[in-house]
Amino acid sequence: MIKLVDVTYYAHLDYQKPEQVLERHRLVTRYAELLRDKLQITFVKHAGFEGFCEDGGLIYHFFKGINKFRFLPLRANRFIAREEPELVLVQGLGFPLQVIALKLRCSSRVKIVVQHHGELPFKGVKLWCQQLAARFIDGYLFTSAGNAEVWRQKGVINKRHQIFEVLEASTNFVKQDKWLSRKKLEVHSTGQIFLWVGRLNANKNPLMVLKAFAQYLHFKPSAQLYMIYQTTELLDDIKTMLLADEKLESAVVLVGSVLNQELPIWFSAADYYLSGSYKEGSGYALLEAMACGCIPVVTNIPSFQKITENGKYGYLYKVGDEWALYKILCELEEPSPISADDVIQHFNKKLSFNRIADDVYEACCALVH
């Protein structure tokens, strides 16, 4: 049985109880519950307190941390070294000094693998630190190997590193009855229903999506778009756009924030999930949508290519291109050749927690043996 320590150096300083941290990390630690007969896993977390707890048969150790680039977690690294693991899984590529200190503390036999969570390479001295830390790293986990390309270009990842495609998280959402969901939400439409779930920021590109949707309404005036969002950076611009276009204003509903437990109802009520993202480490909302059978219409970026199996289980369009999105929308057929059941089956087979567990285990075996 491989002995693994999963360490998170980022410190949730506002959390004072273990259950707060565990709840926050539930989606990225779920894999461990499925590997208890194959891996001996210990979690090391940083927060605003110290201690340990057991949850679901897994051990969690908590250390106080500081979210500064130069902070060295000496006590946590000393604990990890005493555990004598064969493998250490570091969450995030933004902790090069911590990784160097860890490697110097541990036995030379210990393998270090780092999981990508959407970060981009640093600049200047910090980038040099990442390049230096890479000498002590044996492998990387990315949702899509394509996400590693920028790290190769910056000289962080090189040919000696092993790259493994492993989703950073999944979801427990399940599809609800479409018509009951629409009834609960009081969604009444004779046309297709599209759903946006995400922040209203430049990376998510909601203004481009709305421009394409405005054109689409000339082709399908009965279509509706519901927008759920957690942040409001571009909300004023969106409202200005809606006020300037009566047809768009009547077709777009700004829902705002909803409770997490309500999201499966929204995803189940909609026909299509829309995204305009320039970049994503993985795509939590996309995964949640697909778990509920909501068909993706998303940008052609590496993580979305991986999740949709290069468009086999969704529609991909060029990043930032409203006309490419408009063309995709106009080509959507009724019924779609991609069914909700197809999407759900793909999710269960390739995107579930079970699949993540299998992929993590395969990566561990490849690195250790």
Asked if 191 and 162 count as a contact pair (C-beta separation under 8 A), the reply is no
The residues facing 114 across adjacent strands are 90, 140
End-to-end CA distance of the chain: 12
Name the DSSP letter for residue 45: E
Compute CA 327 distance to the chain's CA centroid, rounded to the nearest angstrom: 27
Look at residues 236, 259, 240 and name the one whose alpha carbon lies nearest to residue 249: 240
Model confidence pLDDT, tens digit, residues 81-103: 999 999 999 999 999 999 999 99
Asked if 200 and 228 count as a contact pair (C-beta separation under 8 A), the reply is no
Q: What is the pLDDT confidence band of residue 120, given thresholds at 50, 70 and 90?
A: very high
Sign of the CA dihedral running 245, 247, 249, 253: negative
Q: What is the pLDDT of residue 159?
A: 86
Q: What is the pLDDT confidence band of residue 105, given thresholds at 50, 70 and 90?
A: very high
For the chain, domains (ranges, CATH) are 2-169+353-368 (3.40.50.2000), 178-350 (3.40.50.2000)
Please, which residues have CB within 8 angstroms of residue 83's CB and are 6 or more apart in sequence? 3, 5, 42
Q: Which two tokens mark 361?
A: 């285990």
Q: Mean per-residue pLDDT for 160-188?
A: 94
Q: What is the pLDDT of residue 201?
A: 97
Asked if 170 and 282 count as a contact pair (C-beta separation under 8 A), the reply is no
CB neighbours (10 Å) of residue 348? Answer: 14
Asked if 18 and 33 count as a contact pair (C-beta separation under 8 A), the reply is no
Three-state SS annotation for 221-240: CCCEEEEECCCCCCHHHHHH
Which pTM was predicted?
0.93
Compute CA 193 distance to the chain's CA centroid, rounded to the nearest angstrom: 24
Model confidence pLDDT, tens digit, residues 286-310: 999 999 999 999 999 999 999 999 9
Q: Which two tokens mark 143?
A: 């949702």
Asked if 115 and 339 count as a contact pair (C-beta separation under 8 A), the reply is no
How far is Cα 283 from Cα 273, in angstroms, rounded to an integer? 12
Is the peptide bond prior to 221 cis by the omega test (within 30 degrees of 0)? no
Look at residues 129, 128, 131, 138 and name the one whose alpha carbon lies nearest to residue 103: 138
Q: Is the pLDDT of residue 265 over 80?
A: yes
Please, which residues have CB within 8 angstroms of residue 43's CB and are 6 or more apart in sequence? 5, 6, 7, 8, 29, 32, 58, 59, 60, 61
